[in-house]
Each structure stands twice: as C-alpha cells, then as structure tokens.
Amino acid sequence: MHKKVLVTLVVLLAVGFSLILAGVTNAFSTGIVGFSGKTGSICSVCHSGGQVPVVALSGPAAVTPGQVVNYTLTITSSNPISQTAAGLNVATSDGILQSLGPDTQTLNNEITHTGPKPNDANGVASFTFAWTAPDTLGMVMMYAAGNSVNQNGANTGDAPNSTTKQIWVAAPTDVTFTELTGVPGRSPWLLLGTAAGAGLFAFFLLRRRARPGGFTR
C-alpha cells in the first residue's frame, strides 16, 4: 500500500515538473533577456542538442554622442533542415536599445524576439534594432546571442552562439587639408588632413602627378 502511494507521488511529481518545464520553455519562445553573453551566460544554459549556428553583428563601429544607429544580428543555421527558426538576446554596456519591428521587443533595455523567426531560403534569420549612443565618450560593448531552434516545443535539438562588437563613441572632428611642398622631378603628395573617428586617427594620402608650371589633378 505504501509502495503504491510512493509510486503515485513520484509519477505526479514527474508530470508536474514536466508541465512546469514545458511552460518555461514555451515562455522563452516569446523572448528572454539576461542571456546575451554580457554576464557570461547565453542560451546554452537551457538549449542543447542542435548544431551551433553562425552569428554576426553588423552596423557602425564608430558613432557620435547621442547618435541613433541601426544594427542587425544574423543567425545562420548550420542545420537548416531541422533548425528552421531563431531567437536572440542583445545587450550593451551603455546606451539605449530599441525594437524596430514586430519580430523584436525591448525588455530591461535588452533586445529579444517576440517569437521564433523562420529562416529564409538560405537558412538565415535576421533581426534589426536601433541603439542610441550615450553622451559619454569611449568604447561601448554590444553583446549578442542567437539561438537556432527546431520549434519542437522543448529545449532539445537547439543550439546557440554569441558574438560581440566594439563601438567607439567619439566627438566629431572637422577634416583639414594640407598640401605638401613638391620636390622637383618627383611626384608630390596631398595630405588629406586627419579625421578623428572612434577615438582613432586616419591619414589619407592622394598622389598627384607633377608637370611644368603646376600640378594635374
């Protein structure tokens, strides 16, 4: 009698745990934050068993204070026959993130999906969002995790990957032009000043041919 009661309790607990786990998994399908890699954790905490996708962040590497710019996270499935959709989580060390479409949402100043986004014909799911740069000059880190999923309603057969991007916030600087003195019989150079971008300095040289009486462009 006691054994039957014990077995019944074990079965009920197992069923209850399965229902709770299924509910949590389904909740994640509509978005989750805190797993961008910013704190060291990505979606592999819960999802496993699939093939790791290729994830990439595209967007400006240098901005000015307060500038609003768009970034895109692409998640390329390594097993597009099975892992047919993807989700994401993006966070930054500073600035403000903003959703741009129905496939994403902003939660706790992080970007996440509203539901698994189906891959295109190339096995790619792309998410575009906006970011407002802070007023403070310096480097900002963007953290992004993409999860390639098979949409089986569980956390099996899925796999995530992550990436980061350095974004420099720098004050705009005017470009100045200085022409160097030519050397007889040799080609002079035109130094196109210095352009400050992202706290770095770039120098551009444009060669001009010499001719009697002046220079040709």
The H or E element containing residue 205 is: strand 200-207
Residue 144 pLDDT > 70, yes or no?
yes
Residue 19, domain member (yes or no)? no
pLDDT tier for residue 29 given thresholds of 50, 70 and 90:
confident
Give phi and psi for 6, each to the nearest 5.
-65, -45
pLDDT beyond 70 at 182? no
Q: Could you tell me if residue 24 is inside a domain?
A: no
How far is 72 from 198, CA to CA, in rounded Å? 20
Shared-domain flag, residues 109 and 204: no
Residue 105 falls inside a structural domain: yes
Residue 121 makes CB contacts below 8 A (sequence gap 6+) with none
The verdict on residue 8 lying in a domain is no
For residue 28, the model assigns a pLDDT of: 65
Domain check: are 57 and 142 in the same one? yes
Which of the two residues, 155 and 198, has the higher pLDDT score? 155
Extended strands (E) in 2-67: 48-49, 54-58, 62-63
The whole-angstrom separation of Cα 178 and Cα 68 is 32
State whether 118 and 45 are in the same domain. yes
Residue 193's nearest CA partner among 183, 181, 202 is 202
Domain ranges, residue 203: 178-215
Domain count, the chain: 2
Bridge partners, residue 78, by sequence: none
Picking from 15-24, 31-40, 101-110, 164-173, which range would have the lowest pLDDT averaged per residue? Answer: 15-24
Q: Are residues 147 and 74 in the same domain?
A: yes
d(CA 201, CA 168): 12
Q: What is the mean pLDDT of residues 130-135?
A: 98
Q: Give the model's pLDDT for residue 147.
A: 93
Report if residue 9 sits inside a domain: no
Per-residue pLDDT band at 6 (split at 50, 70, 90): very low
Whole-number pLDDT of residue 170? 96
